Structure 1
């Protein structure tokens, strides 16, 4: 059997075909622009549909495809009428429309109700907030709406004719009951949003059905090809990093840093939601996950490299070879607060600012750069400690993204956060996660933990140094005081 995995982003789609031996048989990537209309940017759903179908067809022309699974970004939805005509293009999650509606939801329901039932507190990015914006600002369009489908269930609908959404993506609507595992009808009725707009929730990795015969013929697929239900890109990336049991985590060290970790007991304290940590049903039955963010990670490195050092690399091949050359593995004593794009979890203050303290005339560019590594690591340690109050404990993490290419950074994170880190053979964790879901759905493996043994392959591992961890304690104790000390100056 061969498993076709697709990872659909806002402007880029990737796909890989895996054999049932874990080999990568095909890899493709394509880009498409956002759509502009009336001064606003939208997801170009027609371009996504065209590119996704084209990629499937190109792979199917060369290899047998037994099943298909799709990972997508969350929140953005396609609004259709009864004839499946698109009524309104998908708004980006960054679109400010829905902010007033999120505030209205907060006023109508208590934080306790919202977090315990929906696993998060209202935000403008959630689908339900933007549906309410349409209801209030485009009532003629909302009145004609028959379906509101996120990108994953929309593509699945085009392929199979079935409407199915997994629990994790359903949670990104802001209207899914994480206890009952259904859309919260009482909540939606109170808002005047028909529950029938949404697709049928199903466990991640369920078999949605066979690809429609007419579609299979057009794409060159076998008439027996199955669609396996994919998930939110964060969930699939976590699976592809081997996050299959409590305590596992993936640390996405990209422009923004995000730790996704899993736990077994659903927290009831709404303070967790107020600090920005959602509670999301995970792909492994009985587990939940949450996300911990730092808005300035790779972007902070780029700022230092491009704006302060202007790409200087001395006599080395590149900037990173220069800046990491002969760098000492020891605390710098320099404190970097990485809020250069605002504070994410747990402070949730977009107006927060970054800071670099304790500089002297002896400080070198390497010292300041290492302090950036230290500061981002301390920020994630702060998140790990905050989340531990809700019964969430991380025992180790797999690093992905551009930051995972720096062994010095990963070692600093291990020493500061006091957990081991490891890296992956392949950077495409989300595609690997989709392959794992297919291998279980198609009967090759009994569960995702077994599938991970074949598909998830690690490259390097970094263990905490007890002496260095102890040496960092004084610097970290000062770091924890920075936000409260400096916020009056923002």
Structure 2
């Protein structure tokens, strides 16, 4: 096979950009041309393995899945200018000197690592960890899993030469270069967010050699061209530029156009997460942020971001579909309809449900970080309909994120512009409710997923097609509607929110 050099193509030929999104249950490769037109997308599903003892994923299966989706792409197009890789966080891949995978990868939900986390924390101090890494100590983070594997699998550990997370593992497989972006490195609990280097004090406490870890680079850094061997195996006629992307939550912000401080994105999928950008020099209350579980993550230019999240966003609507209204859902599917669109018709326009639903059906995220918290539906009467419960779920999720926005405001992080993405952004009824409860304008994005768009933006800038993300965003990011707080409605919600925010403290705080 003749390998053509990578160069810009003009005239009738289009230039194509691609993004690889690595998730816990599947991987996706999306391709756009450089004029913002969607070309194609392929998805490959794989399994995670969950037992009482461990939650794992097989890195080699993920790699085979990624090769599979790329090969499906190259059946249609053999020349792509740049490919950007983004992934979920925390889970690590242990490699020997030849790059062979040595062990399963332990997911953030895995129950192991608490003892090791406690030992690291006792050695360096809880405040030191948050002050330098931007995250509060927790067994979910990579360094705790490394210590657990080292202790419980010594025969495997003595063979370990390199440690990757999934973004840098796939970049390594594509190029032979080991590099990880700042935002994903933060998920290890061993990265200094100010010096932008690995934190040797934490690594020394964990007895991890820093040489095992990948080089840290900015979001969107080029790793180099795809290796000749992989280029031929995957069916390319050129050698695409491979780009280190970012952590998946960061991708949602980039793909929504969050390029300035006080801008944020509300992503509502299974989990709901608001990601907000703020200046590195901004005065903030770190003690409040630490206590409330808000991470501080390196972003771009002179910005950090933080995450506010609830474990149940769209997951609660799915609970309603499956547990409260399954017959209506079955009828909707039978008629070729989306059941959520049917449910949305029952949402009152501008009239609150009067229910107060605490969405802690899987525990509480920020600002309480309480895995033992339980969901509550308050305000039921004999006249309460299923439609009111559905609306109350939307309101309860929105009250919870309003609570988070208030905590961030108190800590010195204000949100002035908020974009909406994810499945929840397809519901105009929910976006109206959010605008009223947050008392903020909500801007919904176009049809494309923001994480996918982020990959394309980063790929386009890395290969030189665009000068910067702002220029690329004008081509790829579209906005659908703006939802404004409604006078008269927001006041009703404020009264209900004032009652809502008192429920958790009275029930759970001692």
Band of TM-score, shorter chain: over 0.9
| Structure 2: distance between partners of 1:336 and 1:105 | 38
For 1:294, the equivalent position in structure 2 comes to 310
Structure 1, 319-328 or 80-89: larger mean CA deviation: 319-328
State which of 31, 51, 69 in structure 2 corresponds to 1:17. Answer: 31
| Structure 2: distance between partners of 1:324 and 1:212 | 50
For 2:67, the equivalent position in structure 1 comes to 53
Provide TM-score, normalisation by structure 2: 0.91
Q: Deviations over 1:374-432 (max 9, x none)?
A: 11111000000101122211123222222222111110000010112222223422121
What SS does the corresponding residue of 1:359 show, helix, strand or coil?
coil
For 1:258, the equivalent position in structure 2 comes to 273
For 2:116, the equivalent position in structure 1 comes to 101
State which of 341, 345, 364 in structure 2 corresponds to 1:325. Answer: 345
For 2:209, the equivalent position in structure 1 comes to 194
Matched, 1:66 2:87: no
State which of 272, 276, 280 in structure 1 corresponds to 2:293. Answer: 276
How far off is 1:321 after superposition? 4.5
Cα distance, 1:447–1:321 mapped onto 2, change above 3 Å: closer
What SS does the corresponding residue of 1:347 show, helix, strand or coil?
coil
How far off is 1:35 after superposition? 4.8
| Structure 2: distance between partners of 1:61 and 1:324 | 41
Contact 1:315 1:322 in 2 (8 A): no
Pairs within 5 Å for 1:245-394: 245-265=260-280, 267=284, 269-282=286-299, 284-312=300-328, 319-325=339-345, 327-394=348-415
| Structure 2: distance between partners of 1:332 and 1:47 | 46
State which of 474, 479, 482 in structure 1 corresponds to 2:500. Answer: 479
| Structure 2: distance between partners of 1:449 and 1:378 | 32
User: Cα RMSD (Å) of the superposition?
Assistant: 2.1
Q: Deviations over 1:300-330 (max 9, x none)?
A: 2222232223333698756434433352312
Contact 1:66 1:222 in 2 (8 A): no
| Structure 1: distance between partners of 2:341 and 2:169 | 45
Contact 1:116 1:270 in 2 (8 A): no
How far off is 1:144 after superposition? 2.1
Cα distance, 1:38–1:333 mapped onto 2, change above 3 Å: closer
Matched, 1:440 2:457: no
For 2:18, the equivalent position in structure 1 comes to 4
| Structure 2: distance between partners of 1:227 and 1:449 | 21
Structure 1, 304-313 or 424-433: larger mean CA deviation: 304-313
What SS does the corresponding residue of 1:229 show, helix, strand or coil?
strand
Contact 2:80 2:238 in 1 (8 A): no
For 2:255, the equivalent position in structure 1 comes to 240
Matched, 1:148 2:163: yes
Contact 2:129 2:189 in 1 (8 A): no
How far off is 1:347 after superposition? 0.5
Contact 2:357 2:395 in 1 (8 A): yes
State which of 183, 197, 210 in structure 2 corresponds to 1:168. Answer: 183
Give ranges in structure 1 of 5+ residues lacking alignment: none
Structure 1, 146-155 or 298-307: larger mean CA deviation: 298-307
Pairs within 5 Å for 1:203-242: 203-242=218-257
Q: Deviations over 1:434-474 (max 9, x none)?
A: 11011111222222122111111122221111322122221
Tell me how many residue pairs correspond in the alignment.
488
| Structure 2: distance between partners of 1:203 and 1:404 | 29
